[in-house]
Chains A and B, each alone.
Chain A
Amino acid sequence: DQQVKQNSPSLSVQEGRISILNCDYTNSMFDYFLWYKKYPAEGPTFLISISSIKDKNEDGRFTVFLNKSAKHLSLHIVPSQPGDSAVYFCAASAPGSSGDKLTFGTGTRLAVRP
């Protein structure tokens, strides 16, 4: 039972254009969402996060949007750069005793073409 879903296994974008990665979740208790980036042969690294009290969080070229009613979040990268080519994981956590564990999606492989 995937509580966090990334339905697009891969995405290819031209350098300089916008990359939009999508994530859906089913657990309405999730209140904190994160995006991680993973290069081959490395562990995932934190990219950006958003709390459920917000609907947008921006950090440089990266912006995460949260639509709680649709249980959907997205990561926008603009402009996309070849170095952004990686696997991106969406993750979520819920409050309470399980609040410190993250539930991850299956990832989306982004390829940015020069």
Chain B
Amino acid sequence: DAGVIQSPRHEVTEMGQEVTLRCKPISGHDYLFWYRQTMMRGLELLIYFNNNVPIDDSGMPEDRFSAKMPNASFSTLKIQPSEPRDSAVYFCASSRPKGLNTEAFFGQGTRLTVV
């Protein structure tokens, strides 16, 4: 398996523009997570899905952020409109249920810069 695949790797956009980050989880994993990494807060969980259904979006900072998982092999995280403070590295991760004693596997991340 190629692992969790994220695109793009880098994104530079102007303030006010819409940004869409993409993720393909590992096949067979039921859970998909979106994290944001910043110096101050480390890795923050934004939202996670189980079997394509959003379970907990309490980490989504504002209504400008939205995430979808239309099928088991694809998820998007959208920021509209983007702001400079959204600049961070965004990670997608996937896993099987905890009961199967497995950890989350992370993608390589998308480095977002909003100017």
Which residues of A pack against B, CB within 8 Å? 2, 6, 32, 34, 36, 41-46, 49, 89, 91, 93, 97-107
Interface size on B, residues (CB 8 A): 26
On whether the beta carbons of A100 and B42 are closer than 8 Å, the reply is no
**A100:B97 contact, CB within 8 angstroms:** yes
Measured between beta carbons, the chain B residues less than 8 angstroms from A41 are 108-109
Contacts of B31 in A (CB 8 A): 100
Q: With A42-B108, A43-B109, A46-B105 known to touch, is A89 a contact of B43 (CB < 8 Å)?
A: yes
Interface of B: prevailing SS: strand
Contact assessment for A105 and B42 in the assembled complex, using a CB-CB cutoff below 8 Å: yes
Measured between beta carbons, the chain A residues less than 8 angstroms from B105 are 46
In the complex, what residues of B have CB within 8 A of residue A91's CB? 43
Q: Are B45 and A103 in contact (CB under 8 A)?
A: yes
With A43-B4, A44-B91 as contacts: A89 and B48 at CB distance below 8 Å: no
Q: Flag B29-56 by CB within 8 Å of A: 1 or 0 each.
A: 0010101000011111100101000011
Do A49 and B103 touch across chains, with their CB atoms under 8 A apart? yes
